[in-house]
Amino acid sequence: MIRPVTLGLGPFRASACLIVLAMLGSAVPARAAGGDPPARPVIVGITIGARFFNDDLELGNDFAFGGRVGIGLGPKWALLTDFIACHPSRDVTSIAAYVDALRLLARYNLRTGTFRPYVVGGIGGVLFIFNDTPTTAGGALTAGLGADYRLAPQTSLFVEATRDLYSEQDITYDVEGNPVYSGKEHTKTLGTICTGISVEF
């Protein structure tokens, strides 16, 4: 847990990350129609879904949205940078919080063809921006399953379920901001179910 900070990025930080992802994708020219598929395609996608929180966080499960950009490493492997955000409300106060995750994922297709089940795994970070308690951030490990269906040679529709594992520690500060008590670290999970569409260039 990091010390409290004051951030004025609430409504804007998710939009900024999605704009960066879009710019990275649009910077790569699409291949000409009828050309051979690239050996290492650039992958750009958008996602919508839901995030599921531990009960002790007192955050309601919420709608989530995000984007991803990556590169294919052959018919079976791909590397993806994935961003996902949601704005859950606190169960007791109904005050909105902002939960963002940025993850570097490796994807392995279990089969090739029109329908491709796959597994994903990777590392990243989760940021919790609270308006009624100190902001926290930490690293996370991610694992999940998914499948995509190729609608066109360069376009796929996918569904995916992932779980982020992260460590949380309660720290109490005095009025001067000095830590006076540190609790035990606990490993918690943050689940995501999403669907989306991706395009290869």
pLDDT at residue 27, as a whole number: 44
Residue 150's pLDDT is what? Answer: 95
Quote the strand ranges of 55-174, DSSP E. Answer: 62-72, 77-86, 98-109, 115-129, 136-152, 155-173
Q: How does pLDDT run across 28-41, given as a tens digit for each residue? A: 444 444 445 577 89
Q: What is the pTM of this model?
A: 0.76
Question: SS3 letters for 119-131?
Answer: EEEEEEEEEEECC
SS3 for 142? strand
Is the confidence at residue 14, as pLDDT, over 60? no
3-state secondary structure of 26: helix
Question: In sequence order, which ranges of the chain are alpha helices (DSSP H)?
Answer: 13-26
At 7 the pLDDT is 41
pLDDT tens digits, one per residue of 178-196: 767 666 777 889 999 999 9
pLDDT digits 0-9 by tens, 59-116: 889 999 999 999 999 999 999 999 999 999 988 788 899 999 999 999 999 999 999 9
Whose tokens are 């918690």? That residue is: 188
Q: How far is CA 90 from CA 32, 43, 61, 129, in A?
A: 49, 35, 10, 12
Backbone angles phi, psi at 142, to 5 degrees: -125, 140
Could you give all domains of the chain from N- to C-terminal order, each with its CATH number?
Answer: 13-26+39-200 (2.40.160.20)
Alpha-carbon gap, residue 5 to 148, rounded angstroms: 40
